[in-house]
Amino acid sequence: MGNVTAEQAAAITGARNWETVAAQRPARAASMADGLMKGDRLGDAVVAEFFARRGGADAMEWGAVMAALDDPDSVTAATPALAAFLEHVRTPPTWYDPALAHAGATAWWRFGSLQSSTLYQSLIYGYQARGFTRPLAETGRLTEGTWDRVQATARWVALATAPGHAEPGAPGWVQTLRIRLVHAMVRYHLVQRQGWDTAQWGVPINQTYSQFTITAGFLALPLRVGHDFGLRYSHAEREAITHMWRWLGWLMGVDDDLLPRSFADAAEIDEVARAFRMEPDPHARILVTALLDDGYRTEIPLPLPPPLAQAINGAVHSMTRPLLRTVFASVSTRWVDDDVAAALGLRATPLHNLVVLARPLVRSREVLRAMGVFGSDSRIAERELRMVTTQLGMDLAAPDADRYGRVA
């Protein structure tokens, strides 16, 4: 198993059956075990360079590093790690096909409002694993800023998956790289400043958890949830969506050999990840509770002055919150193993059957879409994208929007 034994991998991840899964899928498990001890070589080099130069007369501000993503040509030879990072991400791998990624984005946004709602499931999926929760615990962000964290993640997903927005130099490309460098900064602080025990916990935000996040959390899981609701994709659409997320994973710094080359490959990675019987740490329940308590808002578009509209929406949210919390908690148990759901504080109720009740509506919409009632798939994707981004306070077409689609 390379440099990481099965016993070490089990201890780091909390997977009680690592050896059993490794015996069934030795190659997959071996690469996943080794990935627990790997960060992002290029991203980490940028951060190391920043701190090495910080005390000198020509200290480079972190804001300048981020600004370089908007203007890569401004980088000089004085910052070789940053120059190497930007040269790498500006040169797509040979397998990248912009047209196929664009097709994947269009297919993804064909029912983008449903796909966007699966973000909560992606977060809950991540909270099962110690490697996801421990960095948040170590940085003191277990219950603080839950709503802001959900919104920030939702805005990134919307921006990165919007058709054409993840091409080199585009806003989704820039924002993905910003997050990648933030991850590298978190790794540096945890390991160099806060005494992170790499031998016991693995590298923070490591290659394996990044692989799981992209391939299982953001690709396979949303498609599985969508399928449960009655949403169907063709083989070509699944391959295009996989290609889009493979590209985003590459930009995020996941090693090429850990990224899915096809939907079948992604499904196998997801299957192996789900086969591990994770034992969530106590922080997981705290994070899920915070997500259910403060991870959503009930907002109705009202043609009223902002203070009045906010007051009304605040009252509506207070009244609907108990019911919505129960619904979200119950529905979430559909896609989480029973023992993990119990550890996370999730309890199934008859409300989880709301998904079954929604299927006829989803399928009817798909039939009408196939008949051309709603226009072309591109037009549908545009409308869905506009609806979701408006709810997120974004307008990708607004002339006064900032680089990331946010409007004042």
pLDDT in tens, 120-161: 888 888 888 888 888 887 776 666 778 888 889 999 999 999
Long-range contacts of 391-398 (CB under 8 A, 24+ apart): 391/299, 392/151, 392/154, 392/155, 392/158, 394/155, 394/158, 394/159, 396/159, 396/162, 396/165, 396/171
The pLDDT score that the predictor gives to residue 73 is 85
Long-range contacts of 366-370 (CB under 8 A, 24+ apart): 366/230, 366/231, 366/232, 369/110
pLDDT in tens, 311-365: 887 787 788 788 888 888 899 999 988 888 888 888 888 988 999 999 999 999 9
* pLDDT over 80 at 388, yes or no: yes
| Euclidean distance between CA atoms 204 and 194, whole angstroms | 12
The whole-number average pLDDT for the span 372-384 is 94
DSSP 278: B
Task: Write down the pTM of the prediction.
Answer: 0.91
pLDDT in tens, 168-211: 999 999 999 999 999 999 999 999 888 899 999 999 999 999 99
* pLDDT over 90 at 235, yes or no: yes
Question: Is residue 1 very low, low, confident or very high in pLDDT (cuts 50, 70, 90)?
Answer: very low
Question: Is residue 398 very low, low, confident or very high in pLDDT (cuts 50, 70, 90)?
Answer: low
The pLDDT score that the predictor gives to residue 362 is 93
The pLDDT score that the predictor gives to residue 402 is 57
The pLDDT score that the predictor gives to residue 57 is 45
- pLDDT averaged over every residue in the chain: 88
Helix (H, G, I), strand (E, B) or coil at 90: coil
- The CA-based dihedral angle spanning residues 217, 223, 225, 227, taken in that order and rounded to the nearest 10 degrees: -160
Helix (H, G, I), strand (E, B) or coil at 238: helix
The pLDDT score that the predictor gives to residue 360 is 95
Question: Is residue 58 very low, low, confident or very high in pLDDT (cuts 50, 70, 90)?
Answer: low
Q: Residue 326 is encoded by which pair of tokens?
A: 């129960």
The pLDDT score that the predictor gives to residue 59 is 55
Cβ within 8 Å of residue 55, ≥6 positions away: none
Phi, psi of 60 (to 5 degrees): -100, 120
* pLDDT over 80 at 2, yes or no: no
| Euclidean distance between CA atoms 290 and 251, whole angstroms | 30
DSSP 36: T
The pLDDT score that the predictor gives to residue 384 is 93
